[in-house]
Structure formats: structure tokens, C-alpha cells
Structure 1
Amino acid sequence: MKPKKRTTIYDIAQKLNVTPSSVSRALNNSNYVNEATKKLILKTAEELNYKRNTMASNLRKGHSKTIGVVVPRINQNFFSNVIAGIEDATYKQGYNLIICQSNESYEKEVQSVNTLINQHVDCIVISVSIESNDHKHLQNVLDQNIQLIQFDRVADELETLKVINDNEQASFEAVDHIIEQGYKRIALLEGPQNLDIFRQRKKGYLNALAKHNIPVVNELIIENTWTKELGAKATRQLLSLPEPPDAIFASTSDFSALGVLEVATAMNIKVPSQLGICGYSNEAFTELTSPSITTIDQFSFYMGKTVANLYFQELENSDTIVVPKIISIKPKLIVRSSTMKKKR
């Protein structure tokens, strides 16, 4: 069954034998239409179930009151909470969101950005995909005079508004805690080094080792381990070494840490006495596993609100030159059972 055709101002004008401009003026409560005609037009609009095209109306005024958001994965707690934070702030300002998922695909990310440009959004908020090495599509956003705000995973070379976490410090504190618990051979599951967040997390790991004079062992560092399956594969590789690690820091995600825990459980390796595990992002399941997983809370809802409020602040300052601004949010280490080798 075909959907019913949407009523337009032309349908109302035709029924009443008046001009479309008269209908438009009446719907906008203009004084250029007499009251009798205005009442008749409004009554007919209601009878025909006319719905105002808000997007078209806003575009005529020079803005769409719509913000586009592109995230790698909507089903991850971190990104869904960021979206919730953005929506919480934008809803109060009468803005709408269009949400796109790149699914960690560069091609899909480019397609999503181009779609949002064609939708005439006022702002595009993005956390780039793991495959993103070229950022011409983001430069195109700026060339189109559309506000661009990057968060979490950002393209360093683009001078835009950015909201990030202090990933280096958070990773340092996590690994420092692991070492303080008595673990000595700590593996790192890292993400692709083309992304700044994973380079920062690796730097924090290396700084913590240096603080405690622990040598860097390259065979304990495994790249591209951001999913549960990749985390599990890396763990089997690490635990098969002649000298396996006694702790694993899954700096890419809690999903990777879950893969570590599942392999350890299957191999009857006791956590935390034989193997310490730490993840990143404070996904909801980390509190429910047995044992519960130590992780890092990135304050994702607050990050989303910060992104939205940053946009509205810049909107108020539209008469001045936009200066690239970086807001850094300090994450928090959440210590749970998976790294509590020493009893408190």
C-alpha cells in the first residue's frame, strides 16, 4: 500500500482558489492576510492534515537546526552515551540529530559525511573510524562552511573544535596500578597507530613501565585488537609464549578485555591471582563479569554534552573568528577485581 501523499501549501491554495503565497503568509500569521481568509486557510490546513516542513522553513532562514553525528559503532556504550549527551543538550535548544554509523569503515564514513552535507546540517560531529587515514572528506565539511567538531578519535592535522580524553594519563594510571599490584610482565593490546588515541594510550603504558624500570618487551605488544574476537586471538598468542605475561592491559576496549577474560577462563587461568586484566571505556558488562573487570571511565555522557555546548557557544560567537579549541576531559580509573592481586 502506497503512503498517503503529504499535503502541501499548493493543495490548500488549490482547494480555496487562493495563491500559495497567501497560504504561506496565513500559516506564518502574517498581517498581510485578512483575518477571515487567515481563519479559513488555517481551518482547511487542519482538515487536510497539513504538516509544516520545518527543515525547508529553517533552510530559508539560513540554518537547519540539525546536527549530524558520525560514530564508529552505535552499539558501544561509550558512543551511545556520547550521543545521549549530545541529544540531551541539543533537544533543549530545539535541534534535531541525524545519527550515522561508519562501522569502522572509511568508505562508509565518507558516504555518511557527504550525506550529512547534502542534508544541509548546521554542524557535523564525528569520531573517525579505525580505517581513516585520509581526511579530505572532513576538509570538505570545513570548505562548505559547516561547523565540524571532532571527539575522542580525531584527525590531528585539521584545525577544528575537538573534545578528547587525556588518554596518555589514563593509561599511565592504569598500568601504574597494575604494577603496584605486583604484576611484572604486562602485555599491551593496542589499537591502530594511525589514530592518535591509541598512540597516546601506548605512550602512557610505556611511561608507566619506565617509571618502575620495567623493560619494554616487544613480543608483549600486539596491535589491532579492538574487538572481543581479536582480543581473544591476541591472548592465546600471548599465553603460548615461553614467558607469558602475568597481566594484560586491553587499551583498545573493554570488548578486547572480555576476550582476554574468556580465554583465561577457558584455560583455567585464575584472574587476578595468575593473570591481571584491565580494559578501557567502562562498558556496562565490566561490572557484571566474574571477576569484574578493571577499566577506565571516559565520562562519555558528559563528553557528549560538552560537544553540544561547545557548538552553541561558538554559535553565539559567530561574529568573531572561530579559533580551533581543544577540550580535554580527564578519565577515571575504575579498579575492580580483575587486577586486585593484593587484598585491600
Structure 2
Amino acid sequence: MKANKVTIHDIAKALDINSSTVSRALNDSPRVTKKTKEKILNKAKEMGYKRNLLASNLRKNVTNTIGVVVPRISRHFFSSVIQGIEETAYLEGYSVIICQSLEQLKREKNILETLAANRVDGVLMSISMETTNYNHIQELKQRGIPLVFFDRHPNISKTNNVLINDFKGGFDATHHLISKGCKNIVHFSGPQELAIYKNRLQGYKQALKESNIPFRNEYIISSRLMEHDGVNNIKELIAKNLIFDGIFSANDLAAIGAIKYLNEIKVNIPKDVAIVGFSNEPISTVINPSLTTINQPGFEIGKTATDLLLQHIKNQHTSLTTETIILESNLIERQSSNR
């Protein structure tokens, strides 16, 4: 008899007792005496019985799984968030299904449908750059599946969010450049439909205002913030003959593209142009010059978001209020701005 084919009926037959007694014993029911329980557990072990956890969980209407949706697993920030999620979920007896949208709305919709079909107990999510329509998210909420957003979140009321203070991050990055003597500061922004990029831009504007530096719309360049966008942004500034001595990029990748191209055309960093990125990717320390950046506490975001989600999963029959938890970021100064 194959080990994975052993059923409670086989154990009952071997011990000449009722199947329901075996089932109760395996589920640690107080209706079965300690002596009988031990006898059944020993026989189950001897016969190589494995519990069908999936069937058991489905009977209880739980799967002990959490779905995680991120734009790209390859980004250090998201992989560090996933570490925090997995570690926290594991300690609570939950498995994690990790999916990436690759910044595509269509893919994100399909992922949520698949997770719902697989009856996950809850979802942790950072939305894609294309996500401006939230119908698929509203559908998930209507199904009663607990949902917590981290980093990138939709503009929907009554959602649970774990974020960093993006306004302060944008302010700190810009203020740092001003403190180094920069007067003409360009901002590489992400899509303004996403709150994180809107808030980083607002922080940039506020820092300029407090230092009496006029805001100039032509100094804002929006893109998907890939490395090649950083290169193209510099080319655009040069083509328009715009004078700039500082760059605040809403992520590290576009900042790194800018550094590589400025190095190529022999512009001195930080003497001629000082640069600050956002998110503290590992490459920030090895690029030459090393990149000053805003550090996001990825692991802590993952842990906090998972704790919040599990709280809602475990209290689904209680009316819990939604909440937004804000974690702080910090600026790490490196060579790219160290004038």
C-alpha cells in the first residue's frame, strides 16, 4: 500500500474500530480517550498516513495561504518586502503565493482572479503603474477577501495600507540637494496616477518653496523610471538647453541611468550635478559615484502588512476599521551628492 494512499478507513480497518473515531482522534477531539488516541496516532504513523490538509482546510473554508502581488520581484525593495511577508506568514502557519504583474494591468487582473479562484485567505498587493481602473480590486473586496496594500496603493476609500511617508522622502531628498548648493533641481517623476509619485513630487515642491526657489514645470520629467528613462531624461534636458545642477529621481534605477550617461559625456558628479535616488537598491552602493538615496524599510513594510492582513483574516466576523500605517524612511548620503 502506497503511503500517500493510506486513508482513515485503512487505519480503522487495521484497528477494527469506527472510521469516525479515527477521524476524531486525528483531529485531537476530546471525545476520544487519550489511550485510544495514542493507539490511532501510532498506527497512522506506522502506516505512513498523511493528512490531506487541503481537503481539511477547504471544509473549514480556509486555505492558510496568502496571495502576494508585486510589480517586479527583481526589484530589491519588493524582494525585501517579500522576505518580511514570508517570515511573518510562516510563523503564523500560512503559505505564500507570490505573483508579479510586470507593471501590466491585464496581468494584474488575471492574477487576482486566479488567487480568488484558489481561495486564498487574503491578499497583499502593490499595484502596477498601469492600474488606474480599480474594478478588479473592488470585485475582490466584494468577495470578502481581506486585502492590504503596501507601497503603491489605489485611490479607493476604506482600504488597509502600509506605506512610507513619501512626501517627507521627496522633501528630504530635495532639501538635501539644496543644502549642497543646488539651485536648478530636476525631478524624475513616476506616473502621477500613483499616489507615491504624486507625494514625492509634492515633497520636492515644498522643499523648493521653503528655500524660496521657484518651481518650474519644465524641470519635471515623468516616465516609468527604468534605467533607460534616466538616460533619455538627461538627453531631453540637454536638447532643451535646460541648466541643471541637481537631480532628485523618484527611484534609483532612473538615477543610475542618469549617472551612467553623465559619466559618458564627462559631466562631473557631484561637482556639476548632484543626484539623489529613492529606494536604496543594492546597485546604489557599487555604481560610480555611489548614489545618495532614500532608504525604504522593505522588510518592516512586509512584516507590518502581513500582521495587519492576518488580523483581518482572523477577525473576519468582527467589524474591524481599516487603517493606514505610515513608516518612516531615511536619507543615506553617498558620493553622488557629497560636494
TM-score calculated relative to the size of structure 1? 0.88
Task: Please give the alpha-carbon distance, in whole angstroms, between the structure 2 residues aligned to 1:330 and 1:37.
Answer: 52
Q: What is the count of residue pairs matched by the alignment?
A: 336
Displacement of 1:62 after TM fit? Answer: 3.0
Query: Bigger CA drift: 61-70 or 129-138?
Result: 61-70
Alignment of 1:55-204 (within 5 A): 55-204=54-203
Task: Please give the alpha-carbon distance, in whole angstroms, between the structure 2 residues aligned to 1:118 and 1:311.
Answer: 19
Alignment of 1:1-344 (within 5 A): 7=5, 9=7, 12=10, 24-25=23-24, 27-28=26-27, 39=39, 43=43, 46-47=46-47, 49-251=48-250, 253-315=251-313, 317-318=315-316, 320-341=318-339
Alignment identity in percent? 37
Tell me, yes or no, if the aligned pair for 2:153 and 2:195 is still in contact at 8 Å: yes
Per the alignment, do residues 41 and 291 of structure 1 end up closer, same or farther by CA in structure 2, a change over 3 Å counting?
A: closer
Q: Which amino acid aligns with 2:283?
A: F
Tell me, yes or no, if the aligned pair for 2:278 and 2:295 is still in contact at 8 Å: yes
Tell me, yes or no, if the aligned pair for 1:9 and 1:20 is still in contact at 8 Å: no
Displacement of 1:290 after TM fit? Answer: 1.7
Tell me, yes or no, if the aligned pair for 1:67 and 1:96 is still in contact at 8 Å: yes
Tell me, yes or no, if the aligned pair for 2:184 and 2:246 is still in contact at 8 Å: yes
Displacement of 1:56 after TM fit? Answer: 2.4
Q: Deviations over 1:192-235 (max 9, x none)?
A: 11111111111111111112222222222111141111121112
Q: Which amino acid aligns with 1:305?
A: K
Query: Bigger CA drift: 58-67 or 295-304?
Result: 58-67
Tell me, yes or no, if the aligned pair for 2:8 and 2:23 is still in contact at 8 Å: no
SS of the residue corresponding to residue 55 of structure 2 reads helix
Q: Which amino acid aligns with 1:129?
A: S
SS of the residue corresponding to residue 154 of structure 1 reads coil
Query: Bigger CA drift: 87-96 or 122-131?
Result: 87-96
Task: Please give the alpha-carbon distance, in whole angstroms, between the structure 1 residues aligned to 2:70 and 2:19.
Answer: 41
Displacement of 1:241 after TM fit? Answer: 3.0
Query: Bigger CA drift: 279-288 or 219-228?
Result: 219-228
Task: Please give the alpha-carbon distance, in whole angstroms, between the structure 2 residues aligned to 1:50 and 1:232.
Answer: 60
Task: Please give the alpha-carbon distance, in whole angstroms, between the structure 1 residues aligned to 2:258 and 2:127.
Answer: 26
Per the alignment, do residues 203 and 68 of structure 1 end up closer, same or farther by CA in structure 2, a change over 3 Å counting?
A: same
Query: Bigger CA drift: 8-17 or 50-59?
Result: 8-17
Tell me, yes or no, if the aligned pair for 1:189 and 1:225 is still in contact at 8 Å: no
Structure 1: any 5+ residue segments left out of the alignment? none
Displacement of 1:242 after TM fit? Answer: 1.7
Task: Please give the alpha-carbon distance, in whole angstroms, between the structure 1 residues aligned to 2:37 and 2:213.
Answer: 84
Per the alignment, do residues 319 and 271 of structure 1 end up closer, same or farther by CA in structure 2, a change over 3 Å counting?
A: same
Task: Please give the alpha-carbon distance, in whole angstroms, between the structure 2 residues aligned to 1:144 and 1:8.
Answer: 36
Per the alignment, do residues 75 and 5 of structure 1 end up closer, same or farther by CA in structure 2, a change over 3 Å counting?
A: farther
Tell me, yes or no, if the aligned pair for 2:275 and 2:291 is still in contact at 8 Å: yes
TM-score calculated relative to the size of structure 2? 0.89
Structure 2: any 5+ residue segments left out of the alignment? none
